[in-house]
Chains A and B, each alone.
Chain A
Amino acid sequence: MFDPKSIDVLDLGINNISSVVSGLKAAAPDVNVNVVTGPEETSDSPLLTVLPGNGSFGAGMGTLEATGLGNYLKDLAAASKPIFGICLGLQLLFDSSEETPGVKGLGLIDGEVRRLPIVSNTGVQTNIGWAPLSATGSSVSQLNFEPLLRDVYFVHSYYVDPESQEDIILESRYENFVFAAAVMRHKTIGVQFHPEKSSNSGIEIIKSVVEWAFAKD
Chain B
Amino acid sequence: MPKIRVIPSILTDGMSQVKGERFDNWRTVGSVQTAIQLFQSRDVDEIVLLDVHATSQRRFLDLELVRAIAGVLRVPLAVGGGVTSVEQISDLLRAGADRVVIGSAWYTQPELISKAAAMFGSQAIICTLDCSESERLTRLAWGTTDSAVSAALRLEALGAGELLLQNTSRDGVMEGMDLASIKAVSSSVSVPVIAGSGAGTPQDALEALQAGASAVAIGAMFQFTPVTPSQVKAHISCQGFEVRA
Known: A128-B2, A130-B2. Contact between A151 and B74, CB under 8 A?
no
**A185 on the B face (CB < 8 A):** no
Contact: A202 with B74, CB < 8 Å?
yes
Q: Which of B2, B75, B93 contacts A197 (CB 8 A)?
A: B75
Residues of chain A contacted by B45 (CB below 8 angstroms): 130
Closest partner residue, chain A, to B94 (CB atom): A16
Residues of chain B contacted by A200 (CB below 8 angstroms): 43, 74
Q: Which of A122, A126, A157 contacts B190 (CB 8 A)?
A: A122
**B5 on the A face (CB < 8 A):** yes
Contact: A22 with B2, CB < 8 Å?
no
Query: Which of B52-60, B64-72, B134-142 sits within the interface?
Result: B64-72
Known: A126-B122, A151-B245. Contact between A22 and B94, CB under 8 A?
no
Alpha-carbon distance between A150 and B244 when the two chains are bound, in angstroms: 8
- Which B36-65 residues have C-beta < 8 A from chain A? 40, 43, 45
Known: A122-B190, A128-B161. Contact between A18 and B121, CB under 8 A?
no
Q: Which of B40, B95, B244 contacts A130 (CB 8 A)?
A: B244
Contact: B3 with A129, CB < 8 Å?
yes
Alpha-carbon distance between A15 and B97 when the two chains are bound, in angstroms: 10
Closest partner residue, chain B, to A150 (CB atom): B245
Alpha-carbon distance between A18 and B74 when the two chains are bound, in angstroms: 10
Number of A-B contacts (CB under 8 A): 74
Interface residues of A toward B: which range? 20 to 34
Alpha-carbon distance between A126 and B120 when the two chains are bound, in angstroms: 13
Contact: A128 with B123, CB < 8 Å?
yes
Alpha-carbon distance between A121 and B189 when the two chains are bound, in angstroms: 11
Residues of chain A contacted by B244 (CB below 8 angstroms): 130, 150-151
Known: A129-B2, A197-B75. Contact between A15 and B93, CB under 8 A?
yes
Residues of chain A contacted by B43 (CB below 8 angstroms): 199-200
**A116 on the B face (CB < 8 A):** no
Q: How close is A145's CB to chain B, nearest CB, in angstroms?
A: 15
Alpha-carbon distance between A191 and B90 when the two chains are bound, in angstroms: 25
- Which B71-98 residues have C-beta < 8 A from chain A? 71-76, 93-96, 98
Q: Which of A19, A123, A175 contacts B96 (CB 8 A)?
A: A19
- Which A101-140 residues have C-beta < 8 A from chain B? 120-124, 126, 128-132
Q: Return the CB mask of A1-29 against B: 1 if under 8 Å, else 0.
A: 00000000000000110110011001000
Alpha-carbon distance between A19 and B93 when the two chains are bound, in angstroms: 12
Contact: B71 with A130, CB < 8 Å?
no
Alpha-carbon distance between A47 and B32 when the two chains are bound, in angstroms: 36
Residues of chain A contacted by B1 (CB below 8 angstroms): 175
Q: How many residues of B are in contact with the other chain, CB < 8 A? A: 28
Known: A123-B190, A129-B3, A157-B121. Contact between A199 and B93, CB under 8 A?
no
Residues of chain B contacted by A22 (CB below 8 angstroms): 71-72, 74
Known: A130-B45, A151-B3. Contact between A197 and B74, CB under 8 A?
yes
Contact: A131 with B2, CB < 8 Å?
yes
Alpha-carbon distance between A203 and B161 when the two chains are bound, in angstroms: 27
Contact: A18 with B3, CB < 8 Å?
no
Alpha-carbon distance between A15 and B190 when the two chains are bound, in angstroms: 28
Q: How close is B201's CB to chain A, nearest CB, in angstroms?
A: 24
- Which A179-203 residues have C-beta < 8 A from chain B? 196-200, 202-203
Closest partner residue, chain B, to A194 (CB atom): B76
Q: Which of B74, B190, B191 contacts A26 (CB 8 A)?
A: B74
Alpha-carbon distance between A126 and B3 when the two chains are bound, in angstroms: 15
Residues of chain A contacted by B190 (CB below 8 angstroms): 120-124
Residues of B within 8 A of A (CB): 1-3, 5, 40, 43, 45, 67, 70-76, 93-96, 98, 121-123, 161, 190-191, 244-245
Interface contacts beyond A124-B191, A197-B98: sample of 14 additional A-B pairs, CB < 8 Å, sorted by A: A19-B96, A22-B72, A22-B74, A23-B74, A122-B191, A126-B122, A128-B123, A129-B5, A131-B2, A150-B244, A151-B3, A153-B75, A157-B121, A198-B75
A-B contact pairs, 18 of them (CB 8 A): A16-B94, A18-B67, A18-B96, A19-B70, A19-B96, A22-B74, A23-B74, A120-B190, A130-B3, A130-B5, A130-B45, A130-B244, A131-B2, A132-B245, A155-B76, A197-B76, A198-B75, A200-B74
